[in-house]
Structure 1
Amino acid sequence: GDMIDTLFAAFDNEPLEMATLCCPLDDEDECMNPNVVKVVLDRNGFGLYFSRSPIPFFRRPTGMPVYKHIGIYGYSRSFLETFVKLPAGRLEETESLEQLRALEAGHRIKVLVVNYDGMSIDTPEDLERARAKLR
């Protein structure tokens, strides 16, 4: 509930085409894990880029937060009709991340920061970690 409510509320606050969620990422192993998608935001909370690589690269420590993408999306109806017709771009094909299709075509994605302590299960290792947590 709460995360989905947060996502839907964003569409009430400003005219958006697409929105998604992220949470702070403090774990260095997760930061280096290509199955954990990272996102960099602009000052207004829109996604500049999503990557499987650790982004941003820290040339020097700045205290800048690193965010983990949570793969839940909200779309305006009109944009969803546009999005499904967009061809996959080179960035999407390179990173295997569908949200890059929107960015590469010049659309903006609002990214809301939430406190989230769940886990996604994308690999056999993730499944083992989840099983261990439930024991």
Structure 2
Amino acid sequence: METTNHATNSTHNTQLRILGVIPARFASSRFPGKPLVDIHGKSMIQRVYERAKESTKLDELVVATDDERILLHVNDFGGRAILTADTHQSGTDRCAEAAHKLPGFNVIINIQGDEPYIDSRQIDLLASCFAEPETALATLVKKITTGSELSNPNSPKVILNRNSEAIYFSRTPIPFLRGILQGEDHEEWLSHHTFFKHIGIYGYRADTLEAITHLPVSILEKAESLEQLRWIENGYKIKVAVTDIETQAIDTPADLQAILKKHNQ
């Protein structure tokens, strides 16, 4: 298996031009029309866009959507949007199409479209990973502070190596601390080891993004239902930066109600 980071020299010696892409699809099995839901007077996609626009690292920002209603709405509030295919299986694939339609950028940041109160400092932190020319892929992690986070299968965990690269992602608590952990007392686990959870924002070199969209679904990806394992299985290295800023995504109508209660504006 190939073990290089797959980044090519073509992107190493040029000034970084960074494109921020917010993938947004209308049809969601758990929450149809989610990008257009109202959050204290603004749609979710508008809040994401305005927060991302505060980034000091992005040269351009665009919403990549498969639905004309979202396209028109973004245009109405003064944002930039493009139509992409409705057949994409992931936000990564949608970002790749956006990068193809908007050439001239050598780094693409995939910004989650369901985090209306995203902090632009997280975007800047992720973008800073590409100051290292060997970085082909990058993402963020955050230290886990509660047992409920550690046990939550919807919050993927990450193991890092000494080079701040992701070794593995899992929906179960990793690593297992043999001889220390007893039963399911996850609060106790945290007193013996520093665990990290994945923050789902990605950065890609343009050539790497193009390449990974052609990889077949991998065995580990199927097992965990985590797309990034496909990249690791194929020898790609994922640079990791640690953030202390929390994020809150809206996956269901219940999540929306929680956000509405937490934020007043």
Match of residue 97 from structure 1: 226
Following superposition, the deviation at residue 125 of structure 1 comes to: 5.0
**Which amino acid counterpart does residue 44 of structure 1 have in structure 2?**
N
**Deviation digits for residues 13-33 of structure 1 (CA, Å, limit 9, x no counterpart):** 241110000011111111111
Task: Return the structure number with greater relative CO, CA threshold 8 A, min gap 6.
Answer: 1
- Distance in 2 (alpha carbons) for counterparts of 1:125 and 1:43: 39
Change (3 A) 1:126 1:34: farther
Following superposition, the deviation at residue 90 of structure 1 comes to: 0.9
- Distance in 1 (alpha carbons) for counterparts of 2:194 and 2:226: 21
8 Å contact 1:35–1:122 — kept in the other structure? no
Following superposition, the deviation at residue 128 of structure 1 comes to: 4.3
TM (normalized to structure 1)?
0.90
Structure 1: give runs of 5+ residues left out of the alignment: none
Change (3 A) 1:126 1:28: farther
Aligned residues: 135
TM (normalized to structure 2)?
0.48
Q: What do you get for the CA RMSD once the two structures are aligned?
A: 1.7
Say whether 1:48 aligns with 2:167: yes
**Deviation digits for residues 81-116 of structure 1 (CA, Å, limit 9, x no counterpart):** 110011110111111111001001111101111111
- Distance in 2 (alpha carbons) for counterparts of 1:38 and 1:23: 9
Say whether 1:33 aligns with 2:152: yes
Structure 2: give runs of 5+ residues left out of the alignment: 1-119, 181-188
Match of residue 9 from structure 2: none
- Distance in 1 (alpha carbons) for counterparts of 2:253 and 2:173: 22
**Deviation digits for residues 47-101 of structure 1 (CA, Å, limit 9, x no counterpart):** 0101111111222267431111001000011111110011110111111111001
The sequence identity of aligned pairs, in percent, is 44
